Chains A and B, each alone.
Chain A
Amino acid sequence: MSVIRNAELVPAPARRSFATLFSNVSRWRVPLSILALCILPWVLPSQALAVNVLIYGLVAVGYNLLFGYTGLLSFGHAAFFGAGAYATGIAIGAFGVHWFIAMLIGVLISGLLATVMGVLAIRTRGIYFSMVTLALAQLVYYAALQASSWTGGENGLRGFTVSTLHLPGFSVNFLDPLVKYYAIMIVVAAALWFVSRVLNSPFGAVIEAIRENETRARACGYDVERTKLLSFILSGILCGLAGTLSAMHLSIVPLDSLHYHTSGLIVMMTLLGGAGSFFGPFIGALAFLSMEDIFSLWTSNWQLIVGVIFILFVLYLPKGIWGTLITWGKSR
Chain B
Amino acid sequence: MTNGIEKLALRPIGRRAALFGLAGVAGTLSMPWIARAQAETIRIGFPTPLTGPFAAEANDQVRSAQLAVKLANDKGGIAGRKVELLVRDDKLNAGEAATRTLELIEKDKVHAVVGALSSAVQLAVNEVTRARSMLYISISQSDTINEIKDFSPYTFHEALNPTMTTAVVAKHSFKKGSKVAYLVADYAYGHEMLRGFKRAAKEIGAQTVSEILHPFGAADYSTFIPTILSSGADILCICNFGRDQANSIKQAVDFGVKDQMKIVVPVLLHNQRLAVDPEVFEGVTGGANYYWGLEETVPSAKAFNDAFRAMYKGTIPTDYGAYGYTGVASLLMAIEKAGGTEPQKVIAALEALKYDIAKGEQSYRKCDHQSMQSVLVLESKAKSAMKSDADLFKIVAAEPASESVLRTCSELGFKS
B99 touching A154, Cβ below 8 Å:
no
Tell me, in angstroms, the Cα distance from A250 to B103 when the chains sit together: 12
B98 touching A250, Cβ below 8 Å:
yes
B107 touching A48, Cβ below 8 Å:
yes
A296 touching B89, Cβ below 8 Å:
yes
Smallest CB gap from A159: residue in B: B149
A252 touching B123, Cβ below 8 Å:
yes
Smallest CB gap from B191: residue in A: A154
Tell me, in angstroms, the Cα distance from A148 to B61 when the chains sit together: 30
From A103-111, A119-127, A253-261, the one touching the partner chain is A253-261
A254 touching B51, Cβ below 8 Å:
no
Known: A163-B131, A257-B95, A300-B89. A156 touches B102 (CB 8 A): no
B107 touching A155, Cβ below 8 Å:
no
Contacts of B91 in A (CB 8 A): 296
- In the assembled complex, the CB of B268 is this many whole angstroms from the nearest CB of chain A, namely 23
Contacts of A52 in B (CB 8 A): 99
Query: Any chain A CB within 8 A of the CB of B106?
Result: yes
Interface of B is mostly: helix
B128 touching A250, Cβ below 8 Å:
yes
A256 touching B94, Cβ below 8 Å:
yes
Query: Any chain B CB within 8 A of the CB of A17?
Result: no
Known: A161-B131, A254-B95, A256-B94. A155 touches B106 (CB 8 A): no
A49 touching B103, Cβ below 8 Å:
yes
Interface 1/0s, chain B 86-111, versus A by CB < 8 A? 00110101110011001100110000
Interface 1/0s, chain A 18-56, versus B by CB < 8 A? 000000000000000000000000000111110010000
- In the assembled complex, the CB of A241 is this many whole angstroms from the nearest CB of chain B, namely 17
Contacts of B93 in A (CB 8 A): 254, 256
Query: Any chain B CB within 8 A of the CB of A302?
Result: yes
Query: Any chain B CB within 8 A of the CB of A251?
Result: yes
Known: A45-B107, A300-B51. A255 touches B120 (CB 8 A): yes
A158 touching B123, Cβ below 8 Å:
yes
Report B28-67 residues with CB < 8 Å from chain A CB: 50-51, 55
Interface 1/0s, chain A 143-160, versus B by CB < 8 A? 000000000011110110
Contacts of B107 in A (CB 8 A): 45-48
- In the assembled complex, the CB of B117 is this many whole angstroms from the nearest CB of chain A, namely 14
A250 touching B149, Cβ below 8 Å:
no
B94 touching A252, Cβ below 8 Å:
yes
B95 touching A252, Cβ below 8 Å:
yes
Known: A156-B124, A250-B99. A177 touches B130 (CB 8 A): no
Query: Any chain B CB within 8 A of the CB of A4?
Result: no
Smallest CB gap from A158: residue in B: B127
Known: A161-B131, A175-B131, A303-B51. A154 touches B188 (CB 8 A): yes
- In the assembled complex, the CB of B233 is this many whole angstroms from the nearest CB of chain A, namely 26
Interface of A is mostly: helix
- In the assembled complex, the CB of A251 is this many whole angstroms from the nearest CB of chain B, namely 5
Contacts of B203 in A (CB 8 A): none
Interface 1/0s, chain B 128-155, versus A by CB < 8 A? 1011100000000000100001100000
Tell me, in angstroms, the Cα distance from A301 to B119 when the chains sit together: 24
Tell me, in angstroms, the Cα distance from A196 to B47 when the chains sit together: 39
Report A305-329 residues with CB < 8 Å from chain B CB: none
Contacts of B99 in A (CB 8 A): 48-49, 52, 250
Tell me, in angstroms, the Cα distance from A301 to B301 when the chains sit together: 33
Contacts of B128 in A (CB 8 A): 250-252
Contacts of A255 in B (CB 8 A): 94, 120
Q: Contact partner of A154 among B51, B89, B120, B149, CB < 8 A?
A: B120
Report B220-258 residues with CB < 8 Å from chain A CB: none
Tell me, in angstroms, the Cα distance from A254 to B188 when the chains sit together: 13
- In the assembled complex, the CB of B403 is this many whole angstroms from the nearest CB of chain A, namely 25
A251 touching B89, Cβ below 8 Å:
no
- In the assembled complex, the CB of B45 is this many whole angstroms from the nearest CB of chain A, namely 13
Report A235-262 residues with CB < 8 Å from chain B CB: 246, 250-252, 254-257
Closest 7 CB pairs of A and B: A254-B94, A48-B102, A154-B188, A300-B50, A46-B107, A250-B98, A161-B131
Q: 16 other contacts beyond A48-B106, A252-B98, A302-B89, with CB at 8 A cut-off?
A: A47-B106, A48-B99, A154-B188, A154-B191, A158-B124, A158-B150, A246-B95, A250-B99, A250-B124, A252-B95, A254-B124, A255-B94, A256-B94, A297-B88, A300-B50, A302-B51
- Name 25 A/B residue pairs within 8 A (Cβ), A-sorted: A46-B102, A46-B106, A46-B107, A48-B106, A48-B107, A49-B99, A154-B119, A154-B120, A154-B187, A155-B144, A158-B127, A161-B131, A252-B94, A252-B95, A252-B98, A254-B93, A254-B94, A254-B95, A254-B120, A254-B124, A256-B94, A297-B88, A300-B51, A300-B89, A303-B51
